[in-house]
Amino acid sequence: MKNIGFLLAFIIFCDKKWTTASPGDGLRTWERFKKLSYPGDEAFLYDTFPENFMWSVGTAAYQIEGAHDKDGKGLSIWDTFNRGGARIVKGDVGSDSYHNIPGDIRALELLGVTHYRFSISWPRIFPNGSVSSYNEKGANYYRKLINRLREIKVQPVVTIYHWDLPDNLQSRYGGWGNPVLVDLFKEYAEFCFKTYGDDVKYWITIDNPFVIAWYGYGTGKAAPGIKNDLDLPYRVGHNLLKAHAAAWHMYDTHYRARQGGKVSMALASHWVKPSRNRPESRWACQCSLDFVLGWFAHPLFVDGDYPPCMKQELSDVLPLFTETERLDVSGTADFFALSHGPSISFQLDSSFLFGQQKDLDLRMLMYWIHHEYNKPPIFVVESGWFVPTTTKTKDATYITYLKRFIMDTLKSIRYDSVTVIGYTAWSLVDGFEWYWEYAIRRGLYYVDFNTPDLRREPKTSARFYSKLIEKNGFPLLPEHQPVQGVFPCNFAWGVAANSIEIETTPTQFADPSVYTWNVSGNGELQRLEGVQAPPLRRVRHCVDYASIRQQVSDVRRLHVSHFHFALNWSSVTPTGRAEEANATLLAYYHCFVSELSRANVTPVVTLWHHTVERSSVPPSLEGGWRSKGTVQAFADYARLCYRWLGAHVKMWITLAEPNAESLGFTVGHHLLLAHAMAWRVYDREFRPLHGGKVSLVLHMDWVEPAVSFSREDVEPAARVLAFSVGWFAEPIFGSGDYPELMRNWLQYRNSMDLFNYRLPTFSEEERRLVRGTYDFFAISHFTTLTVMGSPENKYTFHEMLEVQFMYDATWIKAPNASVVPFGLRKSLNWIHSHYKDVPIYIMANGVKEDPSHFKDNLRVYYLYSYINEALKAYILDGVNLQGYFAYGLNDLLDPGFGMYGYVQDEVIEKASLSHYRNIIDHHGFPAPDSPSPQCPLQAAESCRGCHLLAKHSVVGFLSLVGSALVLTMGLTLYYATRK
């Protein structure tokens, strides 16, 4: 683009000049969406589309018809373009729709669409471009297609020109660069109106004039392949606008009254977001859209002239409209025909972005159009994405994008009050994809180009779109609605942290300095230099540790009943030998759990937590978990902890999240044995005395089939769960051996003579040791993954499991994962169905958010949504859920996950803390008219006997009076003695 570099600098640095411009109302879009509620606005919307919403699918003649030289058809510029230069792939056959109308009609019937957008090939009807070269066979092909559409009650949406200009017009006149084409196009359009108009209610005169002008006559990427003429693209665009206006007026004058149709021009656009939150960035975004979409939309929908930013910078190359032409062009669109997808978004030259960020947000684009162009009805006439040519019928990636764009459309209607009248998925069948040739596929139907009849087969996206049309959107079902109800009084409400802050030297009496009180000054204490108090000879008490007091106080403010944290094995026994333990650290841990108990908070203690950074196996244990000797060392370590802390700890976790794939099967085997031995130690030696419970925590994110209705994706999802959760769960909670699915799958993989995946075998003794070593089933759960069984992306394809991990663009994105509340309920039901009635604890559930966000709305949404799904599992599904622990406590120990934040040394309660406390105080989500359960309060250990005083009020009163008398007598005697 001429002077585009200068324009970019002009936009960014010349603020003063922009303040004098007259922006469109679309400029408000970026600020408006920045202020929407987060993350609620991004949550999936369960709702339906308006009645009579138009569900369409589209194609273009050159992409699918084939028969490039059959029955009198003339050459198009694409026929010539694909025979020039180094291009060897042609669209001569496409999908051969010219010979397969019945196949396309069957595909449309199965989809259940109400409309079908297709284009008429200009050189098929008029081989040399003029009406004098009329080809009746070509005209009859479209008549036959329209008649068949009428039979199946599908309305045609007809594009008169979709890029395939008769080659004769290009070679003879220079194509769209010559104004003579305006009248030639008008004659061609009039023929279409006259011949087919009685059955067509929606007309598209020209598709995507930006691609025609810029890529066809500017960069040469598209037919006719002309480049290096800086002025030509703008002359072409000028003629395209005038040709459209001529056709519109022809229809309006001679055909509208009788045929009752509507005419527009299909305009394509990208979307762009400000790279910085500054006014000049938003101006740059506005100009970016004006240079692509506004180039044609502004003349049609505003004033018959080009956008101000184009006129300001391109005055030397941009053609001028006469006053008559302006009046002629302005208002020549009965609806806004919007094309959205890879034709623009994927290939747009970076110069058109003006330094801003390209995005695929269809919703924001439609809002911008709504306000920029005086609220026109919008018909999305092209939308969708693409998959590699190697993808056959399982196109989960395409479904993800299709669902995202349709969701954007629904939110535009319901949330933004934008008038959207229809949506068109692109395209019906695979075909020739312009400058991508056959390298990508965009069809809902797979076409096997290697078969003589180019057989069509519905993809999973076709089934998805068909079901969506049948339901008219995403209707709200009972399982999508929040449930009202409460958890029982003995439900364990907790908070989890990976570790706690350690302070082995009490700070309470650590300062030996002497201070004086500056009474006459500011009242602050002043330290006396060189003077120290004599050392204190006192026994340490647990209350001496300021860090313990602070952490216990932080926990209590949440109103939780339980606090879950992990010990550090390598710090407790640095040598790996229990007899050489760090007694000072153990004493600190003892103080910590005892103070929690005094505060009426039940400690839940993990002996070993597998984390990438802090997997604390004593370094002296050679080989770590790869060595079987570590198993016995862990059992000795567990015994040591039970002995030191067991009086106050009634819930123990031997291993937290040991089921990490990166550890491998041998390490996993040893971890299972270590857990079992630690559990047996407690069961034999400590349970009779302490009466606690012991289990392990398994990391369990849910795994959802990428295509929920595809049985082919259900099996890969079950496979992932077997390898991630069943790997540890089945030996302990089930048969005492690894899941049969694991063994069978690895046997299958090894039989291919390419792999050697070895899953250890339990001896009979080991099986008896491991099986049944649990008191409850505990999980940590954070997100949901989607999988499918066929490869699409080598970077996210799991080779051993032969599963493709996918990304669902409609889910709320967090810094660490997607927010998918229903996955928790499904996880709980998976456990319930596999291990009936086992008590279940959610030991860690949380989301990462920017630590600077003290108003952490994402975490608030997360807590309410996930806890409500847990309540559904408890109330509706009969899951034996015993407790829920939010993760984590503070950002100091669990960065980004905490409900406490920090500004320098000041501790800040985030918004999520009060919301979680509110849920706890109400025991869940009681109905508005129902009373909260009156649960008995447990007395803290620091007030032994308080229950007696509370129960017998007279005794309490007399005790109070007696205490006052004793205190008064004591003071009287003291002062009498001093006198």
pLDDT tens sequence across 274-296: 999 999 999 999 999 999 999 99
- Give the separation between CA 873 and CA 842, rounded to whole angstroms: 12
Q: What is the pLDDT of residue 345?
A: 56
Query: Per residue in 169-179, pLDDT tens?
Result: 999 999 999 99
Q: What is the mean pLDDT of residues 920-942?
A: 78
Q: What residues contact residue 702 under an 8 Å CB cut-off, 6+ apart?
A: 781, 783, 784, 785, 820, 823, 824, 826, 827, 830
Q: Is residue 633's pLDDT more than 60?
A: yes
- Give the separation between CA 421 and CA 377, rounded to whole angstroms: 6
Q: What is the pLDDT of residue 855?
A: 96
pLDDT band, residue 943 (cuts 50/70/90) = very low
Q: Is residue 777's pLDDT more than 70?
A: yes
From the centroid of its chain, how far is CA 332?
Answer: 40
Is the Cα torsion angle 508, 514, 520, 521 positive or negative in sign? negative
Q: What residues contact residue 296 under an 8 Å CB cut-off, 6+ apart?
A: 209, 210, 237, 240, 241, 265, 267
pLDDT band, residue 435 (cuts 50/70/90) = confident
Q: What is the pLDDT of residue 713?
A: 87
Query: Per residue in 186-242, pLDDT tens?
Result: 999 999 999 999 999 999 999 999 999 999 999 999 999 999 999 999 999 999 999
Helix, coil or strand: residue 262: strand
| Residue 943 vs residue 871, higher pLDDT | 871
Structure tokens at 758: 């070895």
Residue 475 region, left (φ>0) first, then alpha (ψ -120 to 50), else beta? beta
Q: Is residue 764's pLDDT more than 50?
A: yes
- Give the separation between CA 41 and CA 142, rounded to whole angstroms: 44
Half-sphere exposure for 39 (CA within 13 Å, toward CB):
24
What residue type is assigned to position 979 of the chain?
Answer: K
Cis peptide before 39 (omega within 30 of 0): yes
Rg (CA), the chain: 36
Percent of the chain's residues with pLDDT above 90? 80
Instruction: Give the DSSP letter of residue 429.
Output: B
Looking up tokens 């691609």, which residue turns up?
A: 211
Q: What is the pLDDT of residue 18?
A: 31
pLDDT band, residue 660 (cuts 50/70/90) = confident
Q: What is the mean pLDDT of residues 487-500?
A: 96
- Give the separation between CA 246 and CA 325, rounded to whole angstroms: 10
Q: What is the pLDDT of residue 905?
A: 82
Q: What is the mean pLDDT of residues 320-329?
A: 98
Q: What is the pLDDT of residue 955?
A: 44
Query: Per residue in 129-142, pLDDT tens?
Result: 999 999 999 999 99
pLDDT band, residue 888 (cuts 50/70/90) = very high
Burial 611-628 (b: 16+ CB within 10 A, else e): eeeebbbbeebeeebeee
Query: Per residue in 8-27, pLDDT tens?
Result: 333 333 333 333 324 479 99
Q: What is the pLDDT of residue 520?
A: 61
Structure tokens at 966: 């004793």
Q: Is residue 380's pLDDT more than 70?
A: yes
Cis peptide before 427 (omega within 30 of 0): yes
pLDDT band, residue 793 (cuts 50/70/90) = confident
| Residue 597 vs residue 935, higher pLDDT | 597
pLDDT band, residue 509 (cuts 50/70/90) = low
Query: Per residue in 561-579, pLDDT tens?
Result: 999 999 999 999 999 999 9
Q: Is residue 612's pLDDT more than 70?
A: no
Q: What residues contact residue 288 under an 8 Å CB cut-off, 6+ apart?
A: 270, 272, 352, 353, 354, 356
Q: Is residue 959's pLDDT more than 80?
A: no
Q: Is residue 695's pLDDT more than 80?
A: yes
pLDDT band, residue 85 (cuts 50/70/90) = low
Q: What residues contact residue 778 under an 8 Å CB cut-off, 6+ apart?
A: 653, 695, 696, 697, 698, 840, 841, 842, 843
Burial of 773 (0-12, 13-18, 19+ CB in 10 A): buried
- Name the β-bridge partners of 563: 495, 603
- Give the separation between CA 116 and CA 422, rounded to whole angstroms: 11
From the centroid of its chain, how far is CA 167?
Answer: 46
Q: Is residue 323's pLDDT more than 90?
A: yes
Structure tokens at 963: 């205490």
Structure tokens at 593: 């759990």
- Give the separation between CA 122 and CA 129, rounded to whole angstroms: 7
Q: What is the mean pLDDT of residues 449-477?
A: 95
Q: What is the pLDDT of residue 945?
A: 42
- Rounded to the nearest integer, the mean pLDDT of the chain is 90
Structure tokens at 874: 């408890």
Helix, coil or strand: residue 68: coil
Q: Is residue 640's pLDDT more than 60?
A: yes
